[in-house]
Structure 1
Amino acid sequence: MTPSEVIEAVAPVAEAILPAASSRIERALLAAELARLATVNPQIIATIWNPKTCPVELLPWLAQGVSVDIWSDSWDESRKRQVIAASPMVHRLKGTLGAVRRALAAFELETEIVEWWQDGSRRGTFRVEIVYRHGSPVFDIETQGYAIEAVDAAKPKSRVFATRAALEARGRLSIAAYGRTALSATAHPYAFDPPVLRASAFVGATAATLISATAHSRPS
């Protein structure tokens, strides 16, 4: 069917929906919209509500539809889909630490929640520790800021929390040393019996060997 034939076919439906006092332009617009919807594959509509299959252009509207609390158009596609997927469960558990954990998980950050009774902090508080270690996402102050906002939106409203970022670095430790030998000789006019010969060895960051010899004259 041509577009005109489809519009003509749905025109009676448009007239039945609109009030009798509707204008001809209103009936024509509704008929055109119904004709457009009739050409849409219903299976495509099902993919729109799935964060894994929704077209990337429609992700902001899907986020609004599932009440995502924290959103940024600057995020990459993967993070947008993860935040949308986490939103329904976050809202089901909202006001609990379970909601906080799920909100943080969407940002792919390694986190640990420390309760007040675990470290002796003020009663009723908790702390969110974000760990950056070798192989984890690179420290990003903007991402961490969004994660903290997500915690604030998901946590119990009566709870006060603090955050701490822990950076774990991994690298090589190099130790260098060099050897040094020093000789010194001193002659004294006085005689000591027996003659003195001393040697000392020191081992550390710098290895040193000192040999000291003292020669004394004997009275004639």
Structure 2
Amino acid sequence: MVESLLPDNATELEAALAASTARLDDLPVRIREIGNPATAPAAFLPWLAWAFSVDVEWDLATTDAQKRAVITGSVSVHRRKGTVAAVQAALDALGFDVQLQEWFNQIPAAAPYTYRLIVTADQVGYSRADLRRLIRVVDAAKNLRSHLSELEPRGRSMQSCSLAMVPRIGCDLTITGLDDLHDVTFTLIDDDGSPLVDDDGAQLVDG
């Protein structure tokens, strides 16, 4: 097998390039995994973000999971950019729980070409820096004519309640007209009405 197809007058640089590229097939790299945001190594994510034309969301993503999410959603965002769906997709990729209401969906209707953001927070909450990140994402994905008129925060608290029950089966018996209760003897019976007995066959009584 011919090791090189270079001519005899090849330069040292060409020979070095040929020698280095000859080992590419032996490298343990799966091209499909590198091109997939879900399986690519973390070191390749910035290059994937550039290839998928990720916008401001990349600067705001702080974890690998968020970075993979914004890369995956970039195509959908660009396909619908300028619409509410694009804004919602960009916010969802960064983990924001936000509802966008355009002016004609509000009661009463707001000023034309404005929108309101309803931000829902749980026990963790959002900081001012988080809200600034949120607005940057919206500005990058929305249409140019729409402007933010209101940011409405809402809180959500999750609590659990435990309930325990103990069933009790029995009856209360009241006897009147007796002067001395020590003379009263109760025979214990089962559900069928048969007297209960001990190991020796004697009836069990309570009195």
TM bin (shorter chain): 0.5 to 0.7
The answer (yes or no) to whether the contact 2:103–2:114 under 8 Å persists in 1 is: yes
Q: How many Å separate the matches in 1 of 2:36 and 2:119?
A: 29
Query: Are the structure 2 counterparts of residues 92 and 140 from structure 1 closer, same or farther at C-alpha, using a change threshold of 3 Å?
Result: same
Greater shift after overlay, 118-127 or 80-89? Answer: 118-127
Match of residue 56 from structure 1? 42
Task: Quote the residue 2:119 is aligned against.
Answer: 130
Report which of the two has the higher share of strand: 1
Is 1:106 aligned to residue 89 of structure 2? Answer: no
Structure 1 runs, 4 residues or longer, greater than 4 Å off: 169-172
Q: Gaps spanning 5+ residues in structure 1: where?
A: 173-220
Counterpart secondary structure, 1:99: helix
What is the aligned-residue identity percentage?
Answer: 31
Q: Deviations over 1:148-203 (max 9, x none)?
A: 2221111112222245151416599xxxxxxxxxxxxxxxxxxxxxxxxxxxxxxx
Shifted more, 163-172 versus 60-69: the winner is 163-172
* Residue 38 (structure 1) aligns with: 25
**Equivalences, count:** 156
The 10-residue stretch of structure 1 (119-128 or 28-37) with the greater mean CA deviation from structure 2: 28-37
Q: Which segments of 5 or more consecutive residues in structure 2 lack a partner in the other structure?
A: 160-207
- Cα distance in 1 for partners of 2:24, 2:73 equals 30
TM-score by length of 2: 0.64
| d(CA) in 2 for partners of 1:151, 1:73 | 12
What's the C-alpha RMSD, in Å, of the aligned pairs?
A: 3.0
The answer to whether the 8 Å contact 1:107/1:143 transfers is no
Q: 2:59 is paired with a residue of what secondary structure?
A: coil
Which of 113, 127, 144 is equivalent to 1:157? Answer: 144
TM-superposed deviation, 1:28: 2.2
Question: TM-score, normalized by length of structure 1?
Answer: 0.61
| Residue range with higher mean Cα deviation, 59-68 or 138-147 | 138-147
Find the aligned partners of 2:11 and 2:22 in 1 and give their Cα distance. 16
